[in-house]
Amino acid sequence: MHWDENVHKIWEDIRSLKKKRNAVILAHYYQKPEIQEIADYVGDSLELARKAAGTSADVIVFCGVHFMAESAAILSPDKTVLLPVKESGCAMADMVTVEALKARKKELTNPVVVTYVNSSAEVKAESDICCTSANAVKIVKSIPEDKDILFVPDKNLGHYAAKQAKRELVLWEGYCPVHDEVKVEDVIRAKEEHPQAELIVHPECRPEVVDMADFVSSTSGLLRYAKESNAKEFIVGTEEGILHQLKKQNPGKKFYILEKEKLVCRDMKYTILPKLKEALENMNPQVTVPAEVRERALKCLQRMLDVK
């Protein structure tokens, strides 16, 4: 990919500020390509949570959405955590509140609450263990079979984890508005247009779409599969930001986003280079988590990281 002089100039400025602040830049795979290129680490939620927990930097700049920066603040309370655009939220995370979760727990018999990392710190604090799309099946399998499980907030990921782990789960009625938009007819059309391509999708997609896939995994899992597969063409069922890494890592292969108009997360695209530079210049916007919430949410995240 060709980058113009302005991009190279602002990259230089960001590198200089990063050195001055002793900062590390973490970026999710759904970020814009020029953000991924300047990041120290690009990954999915699980990989970035581990990087945030283990970094020796003084400042963590999280190029992602609010719950990701919150997770970094929970895991590294002694660090300054910056989110370049404070409005970068997550519609799925907004689909569960602490009050609603408490009420649902009362209706069930002492359930184990497995909460997707795409959730607020307050909701994590009210949960037993976190999961990501990369380890949801493993987390569900780790819970004793005599325990009821309430899976929050993504019903599509919960459905996938239940099926793979062969467990009954009580599912929250949340979903990712981006992945959930993809319909069976979109898949049929894409397969007709690219008959030689394998279909690889994220488990946040609807169950009927997931059932049509050749491979289902988190963003990092999809990247690994594309690299290792003998297939030369892929229809990709996740946010279009992943195309940058897919094409970069597999120059001899072709990738087609499943539904170009639907698979774009606006919140993930809010982070632009000038905003990243401003965040490092001004050391704002900072993301913090109150101590009493952080301590409880940390247990939830740590339990996830401890599952091998």
Q: How far from each other are the two terminal CA atoms of the chain, in whole angstroms?
A: 37
Over range 207-227, report the average pLDDT.
Answer: 97
The domain made up of 5-89+268-288 is a member of CATH 3.30.530.20: no
**Side chain identity, residue 217:** S
Options 3.40.50.10800, 3.40.50.1460, 3.40.50.920, 2.40.50.100; which CATH number does 93-176 get?
3.40.50.10800
What pLDDT was estimated at residue 50?
86
User: pLDDT tens digits for 146-195?
Assistant: 999 999 999 999 999 999 999 999 999 999 999 999 999 999 999 999 99
pLDDT of 210 > 80? The answer is: yes
What pLDDT was estimated at residue 284?
97
What pLDDT was estimated at residue 261?
87
pLDDT band with cut points at 50, 70 and 90 for residue 270 = very high
pLDDT of 49 > 90? The answer is: no
What pLDDT was estimated at residue 60?
97
Q: Which two tokens stand for residue 233?
A: 């063409």
pLDDT of 259 > 90? The answer is: no
What pLDDT was estimated at residue 124?
97
Q: What is the DSSP letter of 252?
A: T
For residues 87 and 102, give the distance between their C-alpha atoms in angstroms, rounded to a whole number.
27
pLDDT band with cut points at 50, 70 and 90 for residue 308 = confident
For residues 285 and 276, give the distance between their C-alpha atoms in angstroms, rounded to a whole number.
10
pLDDT band with cut points at 50, 70 and 90 for residue 72 = very high
pLDDT band with cut points at 50, 70 and 90 for residue 263 = very high
Q: How does the average pLDDT of the chain come out, rounded?
A: 96
The third-level CATH classification (topology) of the domain covering 179-264 is: Rossmann fold (3.40.50)
User: pLDDT tens digits for 16-47?
Assistant: 999 999 999 999 999 999 999 999 999 988 78
What pLDDT was estimated at residue 260?
84
Among 44, 93, 41, residue whose Cα is nearest residue 202: 44
Express the helix, strand and coil content of the chain in percent, nearest 5 each: 45, 15, 40
Q: Which residue has the higher pLDDT, 158 or 307?
A: 158
CB-based contact 294:78 (threshold 8 Å): no
Ordered by start, the domain boundaries in the chain are 5-89+268-288, 93-176, 179-264
- Whether 5-89+268-288 and 179-264 share one fold: the answer is yes
